[in-house]
């Protein structure tokens, strides 16, 4: 009998991805797994993200490509600003020693994400080859960091992939309380200002759900990506006026 593992497509460098609908389903041992192999060059990563596919694998594994169904997404209009965190943001905005930067320390952010411990995970999926690949994607203008700086130190941040008006969140880290949440709030404000509708969160976590993310079908997610790709790519610079999109959205 042919097993599901034997049916998993193994890609050569440059080979086209299978249709995401062919990903393993929820009854499999690895729901959302689509293919293995291939490369992590800029062209391949672009094809993947445009199709709603992303790489995720651990030490000792080949490159694994995923397109889960359902997909965890943060619709930026649904971002939950809890009262306690709103006060944190207000203090952050008033402080002359706190600021948001974009793309000033991309490699430092992704390396910090790789070192950040995760509940229920041993080790990291952000392997050296992944760091190299996304730094190359950053140099190509397609991967970005959102950074929380406090007292001149990088205290938290996130990195993401962006093409047109489609944003794909990858990972966050925090060295200070709420620093990663501040970076995410800044990204949401940036997205709202530039009419970007959704941020891909890939997989369901309680933390993301508490901030307003929820699961949608793969088809709905890919439709949102396709629509976003039709938009022009914004300039990745943060303005303090974007905080109004979060703290006082009706007036923004």
User: Residue 65 falls within a domain, yes or no?
Assistant: yes
Record the pTM.
0.94
- Does 245 have pLDDT greater than 70? yes
- For residue 151, what are the contacts with CB-CB under 8 A and spacing of at least 6? 97, 98
SS3 of residue 168 by DSSP = strand
User: Residue 233 falls within a domain, yes or no?
Assistant: yes
HEC letters along 58-123? CCCCCCEEECCCCEEEEEHHHCCCCHHHHHHHHHHHHCCCEEEEECCCHHHHHHHHHHCCCCCCCC
Rounded Cα gap, residues 3 and 118, in angstroms:
32
Q: Which two tokens stand for residue 125?
A: 């999926």
Domain boundary among 49, 69, 89: 69
Task: List, for residues 117-134, the tens digit of each pLDDT value.
Answer: 765 555 578 999 999 999
User: Residues 22, 96: one domain?
Assistant: no
The CATH number of the domain where 212 resides is what? 3.40.630.70
Q: Which two tokens stand for residue 224?
A: 């949102």
User: Residue 252 falls within a domain, yes or no?
Assistant: no
User: Residues 57, 123: one domain?
Assistant: no
- Does 7 have pLDDT greater than 90? no
- Does 14 have pLDDT greater than 50? yes
Q: How many helices (H) and strands (E) does the chain have?
A: 9, 11
User: Residues 56, 166: one domain?
Assistant: no
Number of domains into which the chain is organized:
2
pLDDT for 1 equals 37
User: Residues 41, 91: one domain?
Assistant: no
User: Residues 51, 170: one domain?
Assistant: no
Q: Which two tokens stand for residue 29?
A: 């041992």
User: Residues 83, 128: one domain?
Assistant: yes
Write down the residue that tokens 């094809």 correspond to.
47
User: Residue 190 falls within a domain, yes or no?
Assistant: yes
For residue 29, the enclosing domain spans 4-69
Across the chain, the runs of DSSP E, i.e. the strands, are: 10-11, 33-37, 54-55, 64-66, 71-75, 98-102, 143-150, 153-163, 166-174, 198-202, 214-216
User: Residue 11 falls within a domain, yes or no?
Assistant: yes
Measured CA to CA in angstroms, residue 12 lies from 35, 43, 44, 128, 135 at distances of: 11, 14, 11, 21, 22
Supply φ then ψ for residue 210, to 5 degrees: -65, -20
User: Residues 87, 141: one domain?
Assistant: yes
Task: List, for residues 149-197, the tens digit of each pLDDT value.
Answer: 999 999 999 999 999 999 999 999 999 999 999 999 999 999 999 999 9
């Amino acid at each position: 009998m042919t097993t599901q593992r034997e049916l998993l497509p193994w890609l050569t460098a440059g080979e086209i991805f299978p249709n995401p609908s062919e990903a393993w389903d929820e009854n499999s041992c690895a729901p959302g797994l689509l293919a293995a192999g291939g490369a992590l060059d800029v062209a391949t990563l672009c094809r993947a993200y445009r199709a709603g596919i992303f790489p995720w694998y651990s030490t000792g594994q080949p490159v694994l490509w995923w397109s889960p169904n359902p997909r965890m997404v943060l619709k930026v209009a649904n971002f939950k600003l809890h009262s306690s965190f709103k006060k944190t943001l207000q203090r952050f905005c008033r402080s002359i020693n706190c600021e948001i930067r974009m793309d000033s320390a991309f490699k430092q952010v992704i390396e910090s994400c790789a070192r950040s411990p995760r509940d229920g995970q041993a080790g990291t999926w952000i392997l050296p080859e992944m760091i190299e690949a996304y730094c190359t994607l950053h140099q190509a203008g397609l991967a970005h960091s959102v950074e929380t700086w406090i007292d001149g130190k990088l205290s938290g941040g996130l990195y993401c992939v962006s093409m047109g008006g489609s944003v794909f969140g990858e990972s966050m880290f925090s060295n200070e309380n709420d620093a990663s949440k501040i970076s995410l709030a800044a990204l949401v404000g940036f997205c709202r200002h530039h009419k970007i509708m959704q941020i891909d969160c890939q997989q369901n976590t309680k933390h993301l759900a508490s901030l307003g993310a929820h699961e949608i079908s793969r088809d709905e997610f890919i439709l949102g990506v396709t629509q976003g790709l039709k938009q022009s790519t914004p300039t990745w610079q943060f303005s303090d006026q974007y905080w109004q999109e979060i703290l006082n959205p009706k007036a923004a």
